[in-house]
């Protein structure tokens, strides 16, 4: 009898649970993208001249490719305490276990890495994971691994390269074959990119300026063509190498770089890169030159479906109200700047001016242009010194990624000195708030970027 009662109660509870879940599910469905029903009454149309939205969402190929691949948020493994009575342990916070089958694989600062000193009087420390007991050298996976040169020397050579000395000149100064330097550069490329990607996440940036910088061609360098003519020639050929850049004018942080042709495809690439680094939900103000290729990528990443307005039949993909985007259109005749005009693409002029007024700035792309000048000095393939070794797009891309990391993390910028706090010697990475120290290139190259972002 009692048994029957228990069963009945359990059954009732089960029914109640199912009913509750069904309701929850219904609510969840309700929160999914709304299908717009046609009602007699429509919202009033937007004024003419303002962007009306599009009936098809512009698709970002890179977002599509990344979909489904997103890293599952992992829980960090438990923190291990160093056992008592041990000798003073060496700092191993920036090292992780390279064993993919280990529970601690890829995690920084969980207390599982121990140092064993320098075996056979080698240059690199031997480490081991106390969980899976794997032994590895601290330089595993870095440029310094298995080289007969000292890390200090290699870092010096690459620093000279990052400071704008051409590959051949670097070879002469340091008595190394230019081919060796080029090989190191090519080997360090992926590591530098991974370092930059790992460090620059969740950035909070109020403004982004984008620009394209053209690869200098010989004729321009020898003075046969002036800048405008060279530009025209390049635009016609369309196959030359361009450098697409994005900068945050406040911190001077060089957010992203794409080396390639001046095509819409590369505009998508750079916008996608920038968006991926920013804190989700934060929409900065975008300023670019008159190139219209940025409009679709920005609309795609910062847009949403809106119900049809008066006179429209279908819902429209519209720019988010927070998205503000203006172009600074410069007209040149020869070397002379004829006119500068502004074109507001998303948002209104008042909104943009209000946003800029908070930082005491005006609509102009001066910052990104100044960065371009710096880049020209630092990347010989783009500057005045011709270097045949640096002339292939691949080698140019690697030099750019070296210079980008060096500029952001190693090079203090005088304009970032803070008069109020007296803080000097700040790098753009410090100003944007992702590190609190000036990195040396050696420290950058010794850092093994973890395979996934860490939750702290
Ligand atoms: Zn994208
Ligand atoms: Zn391990």
Nearest to 412 by CA among 450, 446, 440: 440
Burial 440-456 (b: 16+ CB within 10 A, else e): bbbebbbbbbbeeeeee
357-366 pLDDT, tens per residue?
877 677 777 7
Report the pLDDT averaged over residues 328-338. Answer: 80
For the ranges 7-21, 178-192, 325-339, 441-455, the lowest mean pLDDT is seen at 7-21
Cα-to-centroid distance, 409 and ligand 1 (Å):
26
Cα-to-centroid distance, 190 and ligand 1 (Å):
21
In this predicted structure, what is the pLDDT of residue 238?
43
| Ligand nearest to the Cα of 101, by number | 2
In this predicted structure, what is the pLDDT of residue 154?
96
In this predicted structure, what is the pLDDT of residue 4?
75
Cα-to-centroid distance, 81 and ligand 2 (Å):
15
In this predicted structure, what is the pLDDT of residue 199?
94
Cα-to-centroid distance, 301 and ligand 1 (Å):
6
In this predicted structure, what is the pLDDT of residue 232?
58
CB under 8 A, 24+ apart: contacts of 148-152: 150/123, 151/123, 151/442, 151/445, 151/446, 152/442
| Ligand nearest to the Cα of 277, by number | 1
For the ranges 50-59, 368-377, 444-453, the lowest mean pLDDT is seen at 368-377
| Orientation angle between helical segments 151-162 and 167-174, nearest 10 degrees | 140
Cα-to-centroid distance, 187 and ligand 2 (Å):
26
Burial 265-304 (b: 16+ CB within 10 A, else e): ebbbbbbbbbbbbbeeeebbbbbbbebebbbbbbbbbbbe
In the predicted structure, residue 101 carries a pLDDT above the cut 90: yes
Report the pLDDT averaged over residues 120-126. Answer: 83
Mean predicted lDDT score pLDDT of the chain: 81
In the predicted structure, residue 226 carries a pLDDT above the cut 80: no
In the predicted structure, residue 213 carries a pLDDT above the cut 70: yes
Q: How confident is the model at residue 179 (pLDDT cuts 50, 70, 90)?
A: confident
Report the pLDDT averaged over residues 65-72. Answer: 70
Separation of alpha carbons 277 and 198, rounded Å: 10
Cα-to-centroid distance, 132 and ligand 2 (Å):
4
Separation of alpha carbons 256 and 107, rounded Å: 26
In this predicted structure, what is the pLDDT of residue 227?
53
| Ligand nearest to the Cα of 302, by number | 1
In this predicted structure, what is the pLDDT of residue 17?
67
In this predicted structure, what is the pLDDT of residue 122?
79
Q: Which residues surround ligand 2, an ion (CB under 5 A)?
A: 97, 99, 102, 104, 129, 131-132
231-269 pLDDT, tens per residue?
555 455 444 678 899 999 989 999 999 988 888 999 999
Report the pLDDT averaged over residues 435-455. Answer: 92
Q: How confident is the model at residue 43 (pLDDT cuts 50, 70, 90)?
A: low
Cα-to-centroid distance, 346 and ligand 2 (Å):
50
In this predicted structure, what is the pLDDT of residue 300?
96
In this predicted structure, what is the pLDDT of residue 82?
61
| Ligand nearest to the Cα of 57, by number | 1
Q: What are phi and psi of 348, to 5 degrees?
A: -120, 160
Token pair of 421 as six digits:
């706090």
Percent of the chain with pLDDT over 70: 78
Q: How confident is the model at residue 395 (pLDDT cuts 50, 70, 90)?
A: confident
Cα-to-centroid distance, 91 and ligand 2 (Å):
17
Separation of alpha carbons 403 and 261, rounded Å: 20
The model carries a pTM of: 0.80
For the ranges 183-187, 342-346, 372-376, the lowest mean pLDDT is seen at 372-376
Residue predicted with more confidence, 181 or 90: 181
Cα-to-centroid distance, 139 and ligand 2 (Å):
16
| Ligand nearest to the Cα of 135, by number | 2
Cα-to-centroid distance, 63 and ligand 1 (Å):
4
In this predicted structure, what is the pLDDT of residue 387?
44
Tell me the range of 22-26, 165-169, 387-391 where mean pLDDT is highest. 165-169
Q: What are phi and psi of 268, to 5 degrees?
A: -60, -45
Helical ranges in 37-145 per DSSP H: 61-66
Residue predicted with more confidence, 168 or 279: 279
Cα-to-centroid distance, 77 and ligand 2 (Å):
11
Cα-to-centroid distance, 299 and ligand 1 (Å):
11
In this predicted structure, what is the pLDDT of residue 26?
47
Cα-to-centroid distance, 282 and ligand 1 (Å):
15
Report the pLDDT averaged over residues 167-184. Answer: 88
Cβ(263)–Cβ(235) under 8 Å? Answer: no
What are the percentages of helix, strand and coil residues in the chain, rounded to 5?
40, 15, 45
Q: How confident is the model at residue 368 (pLDDT cuts 50, 70, 90)?
A: confident
Q: How confident is the model at residue 104 (pLDDT cuts 50, 70, 90)?
A: very high
| Ligand nearest to the Cα of 96, by number | 2
| Ligand nearest to the Cα of 276, by number | 1
Residue predicted with more confidence, 44 or 196: 196
């Amino acid at each position: 009898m009692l048994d029957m009662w228990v069963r009945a109660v359990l059954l009732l509870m089960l029914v109640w649970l199912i009913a509750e879940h069904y309701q929850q599910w219904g609510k969840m469905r309700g929160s999914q993208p709304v299908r717009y029903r046609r009602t007699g009454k429509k919202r009033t149309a937007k004024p003419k001249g303002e962007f009306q939205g599009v009936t098809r969402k512009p698709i970002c190929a890179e977002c599509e490719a990344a979909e489904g691949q997103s890293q599952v948020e992992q829980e960090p493994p438990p923190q291990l305490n160093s056992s008592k009575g041990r000798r003073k342990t060496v700092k191993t916070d920036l090292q992780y276990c390279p064993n993919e089958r280990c529970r601690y694989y890829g995690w920084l600062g969980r207390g599982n890495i121990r140092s064993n000193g320098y075996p056979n009087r080698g240059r690199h420390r031997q480490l081991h994971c106390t969980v899976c007991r794997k032994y590895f050298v601290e330089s595993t996976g870095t440029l310094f691994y298995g080289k007969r040169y000292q890390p200090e020397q290699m870092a010096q050579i690459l620093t000279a390269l990052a400071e704008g000395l051409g590959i051949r000149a670097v070879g002469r100064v340091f008595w190394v074959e230019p081919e060796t330097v080029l090989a190191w550069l090519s080997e360090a490329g992926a590591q530098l990119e991974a370092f930059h990607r790992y460090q620059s996440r969740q950035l909070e940036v109020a403004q982004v300026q984008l620009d394209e910088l053209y690869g200098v061609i010989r004729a321009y360098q020898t003075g046969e063509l002036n800048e405008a003519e060279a530009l025209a020639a390049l635009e016609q050929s369309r196959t030359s190498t361009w450098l697409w850049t994005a900068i945050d004018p406040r911190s001077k942080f060089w957010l992203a770089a794409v080396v390639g042709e001046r095509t819409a495809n590369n505009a998508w690439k750079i916008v996608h890169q920038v968006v991926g680094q920013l804190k989700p939900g934060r929409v900065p103000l975008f300023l670019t030159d008159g190139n219209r290729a940025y409009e679709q990528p920005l609309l795609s990443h910062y847009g949403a479906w809106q119900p049809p307005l008066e006179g429209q039949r279908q819902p429209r993909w519209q720019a988010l109200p927070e998205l503000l985007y203006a172009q600074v259109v410069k007209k040149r005749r020869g070397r002379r700047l004829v006119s500068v005009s502004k074109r507001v693409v998303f948002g209104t002029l008042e909104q943009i001016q209000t946003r800029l007024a908070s930082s005491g700035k005006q609509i102009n792309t001066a910052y990104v242009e100044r960065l371009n000048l710096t880049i020209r000095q630092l990347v010989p393939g783009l500057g005045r010194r011709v270097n045949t070794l640096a002339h292939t797009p691949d080698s140019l891309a690697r030099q750019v990624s070296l210079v980008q990391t060096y500029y952001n993390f190693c090079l203090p910028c005088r304009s970032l000195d803070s008069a109020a706090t007296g803080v000097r010697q700040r790098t753009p990475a410090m100003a944007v708030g992702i590190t609190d120290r000036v990195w040396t290139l050696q420290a950058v190259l010794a850092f093994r970027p973890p395979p996934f972002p860490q939750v702290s």
